Amino acid sequence: MKELPFEIKFIYVTAFILILVFAVFIIFVVLMYNKKQILYLKEKQLNIEQQNQLLQKELEKQKSIEHERERISHDMHDDLGAGISALKLQAEFLKQKAKDDNLQSDIDELLKTSEEMNLSMREMLWSLNSGNDTLGSFIDYAIQYADGFLKRTKIKLWSESIDVISDTSISTELRRNLFLCLKEAINNAYKHSHARSLKLSFSQEKNVFYMRISDDGLGISEGHSEGNGLRNMKRRMQEHNGECLILKEGPGTQILFRTTI
């Protein structure tokens, strides 16, 4: 058998060595890649575990806050509620005994103050109760409040809800600020509008919630400067990246509150 020339042998050997080096290089790259992948997966798993721990701590913190809110709510109901009720009963008993007109007038003021305190306490209890952190609960309470407030006036209340998903969650802070805005708007309508009717409209478009308060009163005159009430409503909505807008649509006053939920 004829022996291969040296040059061809050299080429074969060189090619074999190159192939071997290339194969070793490929194996090295694959091993390094696998090692990096394993390190990446371990790091990712560690990050997930850390995030889970942080999430667990946050959930425990939220539960603790909710328990504290419920404790304060129960204490207010049991202690303050009982105290206000006792004060009201004593005032009514004194009024029956009082013969002086001025004294009766003072007692009437005391009864009025106790009733206002009782109403404020109920509002705070509602605000503290985390079970009310839904759109449905907010709307029900808003209508109930407006109805109770306007019953003492000549203003007739109308309300509507359009495409609202009642169990949509909202934060306690947003719920409270929306209610304070509604309270301010209704109070302004009562004081300044001379309206005969007021309408509450609630609507939802995906994750955007709208609350519109409309009356058929005198409206806001051109050039009217912003009062503290309007500034406060705008500030409360801005805290939640929302808006408070005075709409120029038809007679009366229309205030639109818009926020992301």
> Kind and range of the H or E element at 254?
strand 254-260
In angstroms, what CA-CA distances link 154 with 31, 102, 150, 198, 208? 83, 29, 7, 10, 33
Q: CB under 8 Å to 188, separation ≥6 — which residues?
A: 229
In angstroms, what CA-CA distances link 210 with 145, 189, 202? 18, 19, 6
Confidence at residue 123, expressed as pLDDT on a 0 to 100 scale: 78
End-to-end Cα separation, the chain, in angstroms: 89
Q: CB under 8 Å to 106, separation ≥6 — which residues?
A: none
Confidence at residue 20, expressed as pLDDT on a 0 to 100 scale: 72
Confidence at residue 107, expressed as pLDDT on a 0 to 100 scale: 73
The C-alpha angle 167, 173, 175, rounded to 5 degrees, equals: 40
- Average the pLDDT over 108-116 and give the result: 75
How far apart are alpha carbons 246 and 204 in whole angstroms?
19
pLDDT per position as a tens digit, 219-255: 876 666 677 888 999 999 999 999 999 887 778 899 9
Partner residues linked to 158 by β-bridges: 199
Q: CB under 8 Å to 193, separation ≥6 — which residues?
A: 215, 217, 218, 219, 252, 253
Specify the higher pLDDT residue, 83 or 45.
Answer: 45
Confidence at residue 74, expressed as pLDDT on a 0 to 100 scale: 61
pLDDT per position as a tens digit, 164-184: 999 999 988 899 899 999 999
Mean pLDDT of the chain, nearest integer: 81
Q: How many CA atoms lie within 13 A of 132 on its CB side?
A: 23
Highest mean pLDDT among 22-26, 42-46, 256-260: 256-260
| Angle (deg, nearest 10), helices 172-188 and 101-128 | 150
